[in-house]
Structure 1
Amino acid sequence: MTHIEATASSAMERLGRMGAATLRVALLCSLVALAGCLGKESDSDEPDIPAGELYNQGLKLMSEGKLRQANTRFGEVDKQHPYTEWARKALIMQAFTNYRLGKFDDCIESAKRYVALYPASPDAAYAQYMIGQSYFKQIPDVTRDQESTQRAIAAMQEVVERYPTSEYVDDAQKAIIFARDQLAGKEMQIGRYYLERREYTAAINRFKTVVTQYGNTRQVEEALYRLTSAYYAIGVVNEAQTAAAVLGHNFPDSTWYKDAYTLLESKGLSPSENKSSWISKAFQTVTGLGGGA
């Protein structure tokens, strides 16, 4: 008879001598004890692998290009030996292998957990950078929703602000510039759509967003030209002239300025900046560049 069987048999004998009033309580206690025996016996059948051994297995598999198996090993370190130094190291490697496997959502989850658990770790900046990179890799073209772009900017901004001396700051700043240009491109795409449909007010609002919020992106030149065109179309000539003038003052060699100049000239007009215009004020505030005299 096994130890488990003996425990169950002894419990039944005791139950036979008890009154009905205590029967249910005694039975519950016996089942709890039995479950404990089962758990211990199961654990002894499958003992935990030492954390260092599991971690090194993961490194070896990764060096062999077996990223999925390596990822599993790193995950086992965290499961079997949570909140240990080995678990900390395994968690950052799990985030890395998820990224290499293209499992960007899993990478984000692992990296966010790492930053939350180990904010002062030397690898925290790298974990935050991987979050940004994972969102960055999921940025769609400008015709689609740009939620991932917004999240990429926010994550990379965290790298810049929380870890200003880290080696990832330069790359994070470049990623932010690219992502902001993407958001500006989305506004331009919608604005052009409205312009083609002659919904000029809606188009102007989109181009205004580019000038006021994304004035330091490459999209601003076209935005100023489109404002010239849209304002002229609705008869707000002074704003059309201001948009063209600001474009010419700051981007004199731009093909968009040449187009804006030609458009106004064909109507007997020329670029002329109104300093009180929102275009003049907003552009100077956003870009730090002044208009002409």
Structure 2
Amino acid sequence: MFSFFPSRSAGLVAGLAVAGLIALVPAARAQDAAAPAQTAPAATQTAPVADVPVTPAKPIKSSIFSFGKDKKKADADKKAAAQPAPEKESKKEEKVIQSKDTRNRYKKDKKIETLAGVDAKLPDKALFDKAQYAIAHGHFDVARLDLQTMLNTYPDSQYQMRAKLAIADSWYKEGGTAALTQAESEYADFRVFFPNAPEAAEAQMRIGDIYFRQMDRPDRDYAKATHAEEEYRRMLTDYPDSTLVPQAKQRLRDVQEVLATREAEIAGYYATRENWAATIARYQTVVDTYPLYSHMDDALIGLGDAYSAQAHFVRGLKMDETAKAKLEATFDGEAAAAYRKVVLEHSAAAHVEDARDRLAAMNLPIPTPTLEQAQASQAMENSRNNYRLTDRVGLIILHKPDTVTVAHIGDPTLTDPKPTLAPDVTRNTVAAFNKALHPDAVPEVGAKAPVTADGETTAAAPATTAAPLQFQDVPAEGATGGATTGTSFTAAPAGGASSGGGNGVGMEVLSPGVNGATGNTVPTAVPGVTLTAKPAPLPAIEKAAEAPTTVNEISAPQAAAQAPRADGKKTKPEFDKGDESSSKHKKKKGLKKLNPL
């Protein structure tokens, strides 16, 4: 038998639904009929009403779907009838109650602008308020005009300082390269005119913000980031008690994050080119200058890998095994020191396991950080933010530097240590090779002490210098051994004075013919001093040969045209009208060309 429903259960459910609808139809009709009967007695109890044309009642809908709507309408009419008539609202109820956000916003604006609404009837205050309103609505030119008018008209106004700061703020809020440059000049002038005002710290903070707003990505020009770092450091140094110090510290951390990222990226580029001296120099600068860098573990691991690459290069050299072992120990020691720093000081970092694996591959013990070191590293990592979708979209669209993972604790460095340069690293490497190949040689002054793989620093041998020549080492007078130029020296007595009681220094100069000196006195040889014989006399200076006479090869007589006239007048040069022309000597035209005269 063909069935309309796909299954027996579906047909059963449909049948029950139809049966329920059929049962509800009589009940709905009965309730609709009973509704007029209930309202009729209530109408008879009311006062008689004048003859009013009765409108015919609307037909009652018998649909089962109108049952619920009519019931709701009836309940609403009952509630409206039960409620008393509304009385006149009191003034207290008419008062608008501000929300919590509105009150907080009002307090914040009052804190920023303390002179709002004070002495509003004064003319200078009226101009100041008008300018503030214009700045708030983006009319910066109008605001600056009103403020300048106030300064020129009322030079002794109590709002003079605020007006100068407002002019700088208008340039800052306007934005743009030219406007920000003008804002920096205005803020600098404000610091000069009002150095002790509390707003001077705000002006210095805004100067740093000007450069901060113009910062670009780390792989672009970093001049703005360098200027921002200088201004924020000046802010922290000159105004240590300002309320803007925490904000300035955080901005300084952001700027140093960008600068550290730039150095680390350059080091990574040199590492791909296997320029290990430049790689070590860049990574070492990051480690020494920017201790709050978010990827410090990567920088230290990169530094250790550069030293490991140098050790691997040494293993492939054909040289003395003893010298090779010393060089390997030196470079492996530097690499191990970088890996240990990751394990100890950055135990909560993301790549600490890589440092442990490298130490294990070098067959070195893995150190364990102390409780204080572990807690400090964990607090540092917890203070960093995580990337959100809005952050990633902003970095792609706005082309701004990445400062999401910057730390929010710790003091940024206020002075830069001496940077590590690639030539210095190269000199240290050459000194290490010379030390290994020639252990008895005197090390260069300032050479870096090598670090062994166990983490111990070997002290470099002190440089030995030759002792200065003393007067006691000079041979006495009358000794023989070499030819001199007629001067001899004698040693000073033990008492330090000459026999004559004078203040002599124990030296006697003998010249030929004086004091019986013959000029042939020869001192004995002095250790470490080479004496040369009397130089031979120079040959006589020869007279320079005379220069040959100049012969003029052109001996033809002077032309008659060039010969001067007897009367002294100048002769006019000949002029060929056929070849040349001028305003006075014009070419012949037409038939005149046939005239030879």
Calculate the TM-score normalised by the size of structure 2. Answer: 0.36
State percent identity of aligned pairs.
24
Deviation per residue, 1:7-34 (Å, 9 max, x gap): xxxxxxxxxxxxxxxxxxxxxxxxxxxx
Q: Please identify the structure whose Cα radius of gyration is greater.
A: 2
> 1:216 offset after TM fit, Å?
3.0
In the other structure, the counterpart of 1:42 is none
Contact 2:172–2:183 (Cα < 8 Å) also in 1: yes
Pair 93,241 (structure 1): closer, same or farther in 2 beyond 3 Å: same
1:70 aligned onto 2:143 = yes
- Provide structure 1 residue ranges, at least 5 long, that are not aligned to the other structure: 1-49, 278-293
- Provide structure 2 residue ranges, at least 5 long, that are not aligned to the other structure: 1-122, 312-330, 367-452, 459-597
- CA separation in 2, counterparts of 1:94 and 1:232? 58
1:198 aligned onto 2:274 = yes
In the other structure, the counterpart of 1:245 is 340
In the other structure, the counterpart of 2:212 is 136
In the other structure, the counterpart of 2:65 is none
> 1:59 offset after TM fit, Å?
1.6
Aligned residue-pair number: 228
- CA separation in 2, counterparts of 1:237 and 1:106? 54
Match of 1:254 among 324, 349, 360: 349
Calculate the TM-score normalised by the size of structure 1. Answer: 0.69
SS at match of 2:217: coil
> 1:267 offset after TM fit, Å?
6.0
Match of 1:162 among 238, 260, 277: 238
> 1:115 offset after TM fit, Å?
0.4
- CA separation in 2, counterparts of 1:83 and 1:219? 54
1:146 aligned onto 2:327 = no
- CA separation in 2, counterparts of 1:222 and 1:168? 33
- CA separation in 2, counterparts of 1:250 and 1:177? 19
2:254 maps to a residue whose letter is F
In the other structure, the counterpart of 2:297 is 221
- CA separation in 1, counterparts of 2:170 and 2:346? 45
Pair 220,275 (structure 1): closer, same or farther in 2 beyond 3 Å: farther
Match of 2:261 among 165, 185, 199: 185
In the other structure, the counterpart of 2:183 is 107
> 1:186 offset after TM fit, Å?
1.2
- CA separation in 2, counterparts of 1:273 and 1:133? 47
SS at match of 2:351: helix
Contact 2:339–2:358 (Cα < 8 Å) also in 1: no
Deviation per residue, 1:151-190 (Å, 9 max, x gap): 2222222222222222111101111112112211111011
Pair 229,127 (structure 1): closer, same or farther in 2 beyond 3 Å: same
Pair 76,220 (structure 1): closer, same or farther in 2 beyond 3 Å: farther
1:88 aligned onto 2:269 = no
CA RMSD of aligned residues (A): 2.5
- CA separation in 2, counterparts of 1:273 and 1:142? 37
1:250 maps to a residue whose letter is E
- CA separation in 1, counterparts of 2:273 and 2:156? 59
Deviation per residue, 1:208-246 (Å, 9 max, x gap): 001111123323221101011111111122111111111
- CA separation in 1, counterparts of 2:356 and 2:299? 14
- CA separation in 1, counterparts of 2:144 and 2:183? 11
> 1:128 offset after TM fit, Å?
1.1
Q: Which moved more, 1:134-143 or 1:261-270?
A: 261-270
2:346 maps to a residue whose letter is F
Q: Which moved more, 1:130-139 or 1:260-269?
A: 260-269
Deviation per residue, 1:58-107 (Å, 9 max, x gap): 12212334234323433444466668644422110111122222232222
Higher relative contact order (CA 8 A, sep 6+): 1
